[in-house]
C-alpha cells in the first residue's frame, strides 16, 4: 500500500540518525596522542577495546585526558556549516531565487560531526547532484562540476558488524571488579556510513562489452548507499591477568559483552538503470528506492546482542632479546567478535518514485564468526642523552576493514614529539606534541588528516587534549 508521507513521520528517523552520530563521534574518538601518531595503537588499557589482554597492562601515564571538541567551532565560524543559522532561518540557504543565498554544506557538516575531536581546516566541497557516467571503461560518478566521486567508500565510527557495538568505547561506563575480573555497565553509541558503491555486475558487463550493455537488462542496484546508527545499554564481563614467564610476561584476557538496544536507524538507498532493446540506457529518470528501518520506543522497537572477544600480549625485555638499547618489546594479538550475535525488531518503510509505503513490522539480525583481528608491535628504546623513543606499528583486518599504522614518539624531558602515518580508509598521517607541566597536568596537541567522504580530498585538522591526572 502506498500513501503520501507526512513530513514529520519520515523526518523523524533522520533526526534520530543525526543525533546518534553526533554523540557517537565523540564517544568512540581516538585520543589526541593516537591522532598525533597517525592512528597507531599504543599498548595499554586504551587498546583493551581491540584486545582484552591489555586490560591488565600498565599504563605509561601518557595520552588520554579530556579531548576538547574543537570541531564544534566550525559550526560557529564557518558560514557553510553555521547550524545556528540553519536552525533559526533555514529559508536563507540554497534559495534559487537569491544569487547571494548561502549554501549549507551537508557533506562537510557530516564529516565534521563525525570528527568532533578535530577542527577541520579545509572542509570537503558539497555535491549538489550525482551524475552517473557510462563508458567503455566502466561506470563513474561525478558531481555537478564534473569532479569524480569515490565509490566503495565508507566511513565508520565503530568496528561493529550490524549493531553489536564491537570496538566502541561507551559514552560512559561504570566499572567495578573483583581481582582480575572486571565488570562494566554503560551506554553504547555507534554509527557507520555513509557508504557509496556501484553494482559490480554493471561494471563487469560494461568492460566485457567494451562499453555496450546487454539489451533489456535491469540493474536494480546500479548505485547504492547506506548509513546506520544505534544506541543502547552496554554491559561486559572481562578477565585479564599477567602471567610471569622466564624472560617475559604474558598477558591473557577474554571478554563477554552484550547490549540492549534502545534505538536504531538503518538507511539504504538504491538507484536502478535499465537498457533498451539496443543495449542503451533508457532516457527516463532512473528509478530509486530508499529503505528506512527504525527501532525505538516510539514504535515498540528494541534490540539485543552478545559477542565474545579474546586476546593475548607478551612483553619481552631487551635483555631477553640481547638488545641493550631496548627496554621492552610488546607484541599483541586481539580477536574482537570471535562469536557475535545481534537482533533488532522495529518497522520498515520504503520511499520510491511511486510513493511511500506504510511502515510494516520488520527485523534485522545476524551472527556467527566474523572477527576483527588486531596485531600490534611496539618497542621502547633508551638512547644516548636520556632520549626515550617509542616505535610502534599495528594492523587490523576483518569485518570489511583493513588498516595499517606506523608511528613513533620521542621524549625530551617535559616535551614529547610524535608522528605517524597509515592506510585507514585512505592515506593519513599525524604530527603531535605533549607538554607535561607536572605529573598531573599537561597538554597534547596534534595535526592530523583523514580522507573526506566521496572525494579524493584530504582533510587537515587540529586536535587538543588537557590531561588532569587521568
Is residue 230 within 8 A of residue 180, CB to CB? The reply is: no
Compute the average pLDDT of residues 179-204: 78
- Measure the CA angle with vertex 329, ends 327 and 332; round to 5°: 150
User: How many C-beta neighbours within 10 Å does residue 441 have?
Assistant: 13
Maximum distance among all Cα pairs of the chain, rounded to whole angstroms: 78
Identify the pLDDT of residue 148.
Answer: 80
Compute the average pLDDT of residues 124-146: 74
- Which of 419, 468, 462 has the alpha carbon at shortest distance from 443? 468
Identify the pLDDT of residue 153.
Answer: 53
First to last CA, the chain: 57
Q: Could you report the per-residue pLDDT of 338-360, keeping only the tens digit for each?
A: 778 888 999 988 888 777 888 88
Confidence bin at 404 (pLDDT 50/70/90): very high
Identify the pLDDT of residue 30.
Answer: 67
- Tell me: pLDDT of 456 over 60: yes
Identify the pLDDT of residue 332.
Answer: 96
Going from the C-alpha of 188 to that of each of 39, 355, 360, the distances in angstroms are 22, 35, 27
Beta-strand ranges (E) seen in 275-400 are 287-295, 302-317, 326-352, 355-357, 360-368, 372-382, 388-398
* Top-confidence residue, 251 or 370: 251
- Tell me: pLDDT of 26 over 70: no
Confidence bin at 376 (pLDDT 50/70/90): very high
Compute the average pLDDT of residues 260-268: 86
Confidence bin at 137 (pLDDT 50/70/90): low
Please, is 48 exposed, middle or buried when counting C-beta atoms within 10 Å of its C-beta (0-12, 13-18, 19+)?
Answer: buried
Identify the pLDDT of residue 192.
Answer: 67
Identify the pLDDT of residue 377.
Answer: 97
Identify the pLDDT of residue 228.
Answer: 79
Residues facing residue 355 across a β-bridge:
352
Is residue 415 within 8 A of residue 433, CB to CB? The reply is: yes
Q: The pTM is what?
A: 0.74
CA dihedral 439, 445, 448, 452 (to 10 degrees): 110
* Count of alpha carbons within 13 angstroms of residue 97, beta-carbon side: 2
Q: Could you report the per-residue pLDDT of 290-301, keeping only the tens digit for each?
A: 888 888 888 888
- Measure the CA angle with vertex 371, ends 368 and 373; round to 5°: 170
Confidence bin at 46 (pLDDT 50/70/90): confident
Q: Could you report the per-residue pLDDT of 146-167, keeping only the tens digit for each?
A: 788 776 555 444 433 333 444 4
CA distance 149 to 151: 6
Residues facing residue 178 across a β-bridge:
181
- Which of 3, 23, 13 has the alpha carbon at shortest distance from 299? 13
* Top-confidence residue, 214 or 406: 406
- Tell me: pLDDT of 264 over 50: yes
How high does pLDDT run on average in the chain? Answer: 79
Is residue 159 within 8 A of residue 124, CB to CB? The reply is: no
Identify the pLDDT of residue 10.
Answer: 43
Identify the pLDDT of residue 269.
Answer: 84
Going from the C-alpha of 459 to that of each of 21, 121, 123, 337, 404, the distances in angstroms are 19, 7, 7, 31, 19
* Residue 37 grid cell: 601518531
* DSSP state at residue 283: S
Identify the pLDDT of residue 453.
Answer: 76
- Measure the CA angle with vertex 32, ends 229 and 445; round to 5°: 140
Identify the pLDDT of residue 106.
Answer: 78
- Domain extents in the chain: 2-467
Which range has the worst mean pLDDT, 118-122, 165-169, 178-182, 246-250? 165-169
- Tell me: pLDDT of 105 over 50: yes
CA distance 403 to 3: 45
Which range has the worst mean pLDDT, 59-63, 174-178, 315-319? 59-63
Amino acid at each position: 500500500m502506498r500513501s503520501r508521507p507526512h513530513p514529520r513521520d519520515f523526518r523523524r528517523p533522520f533526526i534520530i540518525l543525526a543525533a546518534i552520530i553526533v554523540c557517537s563521534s565523540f564517544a568512540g574518538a581516538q585520543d589526541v596522542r593516537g591522532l598525533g601518531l597517525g592512528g597507531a595503537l599504543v599498548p595499554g588499557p586504551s587498546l583493551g577495546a581491540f584486545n582484552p589482554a591489555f586490560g591488565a597492562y600498565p599504563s605509561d601515564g601518557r595520552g588520554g585526558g579530556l579531548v576538547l571538541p574543537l570541531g564544534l567551532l566550525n559550526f560557529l565560524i564557518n558560514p557553510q556549516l553555521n547550524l545556528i543559522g540553519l536552525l533559526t532561518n533555514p529559508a536563507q540557504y540554497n534559495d534559487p531565487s537569491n544569487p547571494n543565498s548561502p549554501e549549507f554544506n551537508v557533506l562537510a557538516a557530516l564529516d565534521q560531526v563525525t570528527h568532533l575531536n578535530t577542527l577541520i581546516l579545509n572542509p570537503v566541497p558539497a555535491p549538489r547532484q550525482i551524475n552517473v557516467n557510462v563508458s567503455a571503461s566502466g561506470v563513474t560518478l561525478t558531481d555537478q562540476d564534473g569532479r569524480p566521486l569515490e565509490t566503495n567508500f565508507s566511513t565508520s565510527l565503530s568496528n561493529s558488524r550490524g549493531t553489536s557495538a564491537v570496538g566502541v568505547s561507551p559514552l560512559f561506563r561504570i566499572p567495578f571488579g573483583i581481582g582480575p575480573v572486571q565488570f562494566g555497565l554503560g551506554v553504547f553509541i555507534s554509527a557507520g556510513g555513509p557508504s557509496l558503491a556501484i553494482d559490480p555486475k554493471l561494471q563487469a558487463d560494461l568492460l566485457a562489452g567494451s562499453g555496450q550493455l546487454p539489451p533489456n537488462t535491469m540493474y536494480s542496484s546500479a548505485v547504492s548507499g547506506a548509513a546506520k546508527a544505534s544506541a543502547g545499554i552496554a554491559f561486559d564481563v572481562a578477565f585479564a591477568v599477567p602471567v610471569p614467564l622466564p624472560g617475559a610476561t604474558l598477558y591473557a584476557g577474554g571478554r563477554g559483552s552484550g547490549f540492549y538496544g534502545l534505538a536504531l536507524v538503518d538507511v539504504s538507498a538504491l538507484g536502478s538503470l535499465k537498457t533498451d532493446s539496443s543495449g542503451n540506457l533508457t532516457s527516463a529518470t532512473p528509478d530509486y528506492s530508499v529503505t528506512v528501518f527504525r527501532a525505538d520506543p516510539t514504535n515498540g522497537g528494541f534490540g539485543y546482542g552478545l559477542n565474545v572477544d579474546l586476546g593475548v600480549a607478551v612483553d619481552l625485555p631487551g635483555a631477553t632479546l640481547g638488545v641493550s638499547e631496548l627496554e621492552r618489546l610488546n607484541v599483541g594479538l586481539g580477536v574482537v567478535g570471535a562469536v557475535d550475535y545481534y537482533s533488532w525488531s522495529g518497522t520498515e518503510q520504503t520511499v520510491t518514485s511511486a510513493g511511500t509505503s506504510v511502515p510494516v513490522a520488520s527485523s534485522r539480525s545476524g551472527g556467527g564468526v566474523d572477527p576483527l583481528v588486531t596485531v600490534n608491535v611496539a618497542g621502547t628504546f633508551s638512547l644516548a642523552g636520556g632520549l626515550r623513543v617509542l616505535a610502534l606499528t599495528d594492523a587490523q583486518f576483518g569485518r570489511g576493514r583493513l588498516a595499517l599504522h606506523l608511528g613513533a614518539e620521542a621524549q625530551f624531558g617535559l616535551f614529547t614529539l610524535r608522528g605517524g602515518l597509515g592506510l585507514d580508509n585512505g592515506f593519513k598521517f599525524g604530527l603531535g606534541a605533549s607538554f607535561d607541566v607536572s605529573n598531573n597536568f599537561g597538554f597534547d596537541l596534534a595535526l592530523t588528516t583523514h580522507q573526506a567522504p566521496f572525494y579524493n580530498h584530504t582533510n587537515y585538522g587540529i586536535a587538543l587534549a588537557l590531561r588532569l591526572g587521568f
